[in-house]
Amino acid sequence: MGWLDFFKGPDIDAGVAQFLGTPGAALLDVRTPQEYRMGHIESSQNLPLQEIARAAQLFPQKETPLFIYCQSGARSRSAAAYLKRMGYTSVNDLGGINHYHGKVVGGI
């Protein structure tokens, strides 16, 4: 691992693969509903960052594995930190969809 690896974000492709192999996991897109409609990762659900507190209603079990992404990685990082403060024990920040190489659904 070189010193430039510090600047690399999470590997969203590997993260989505991990999500797909994790029973009971949820893939959360924390972008706006408009961004979500423009294209999102299959099997994800939209939970905008400004509504992240709703996670308590959607996922009452704090052990639920949560995988989070946004556009570039900033919002997913904030959402992951917030969810950890809420007591979630398995939170995975995948970074931004702009680095994703897999299938995207939706869009115009």
Q: pTM of the entire structure?
A: 0.91
The top-level CATH class assigned to 10-103 is: alpha beta
Where along the chain do its domains lie? 10-103
Residue owning tokens 């897109």: 29
Look at residue 8 and give its three-state secondary structure: coil
Q: What is the pLDDT of residues 16-46, one digit of tens each?
A: 999 999 999 999 999 999 999 999 999 999 9
- Kindly list the catalytic residues: 70
98: DSSP letter: G
Q: What is the pLDDT of residues 43-57, one digit of tens each?
A: 999 999 999 999 999
46 burial via Cβ count (<10 Å: 0-12, 13-18, 19+)? middle
In whole angstroms, how large is the CA radius of gyration of the chain?
13
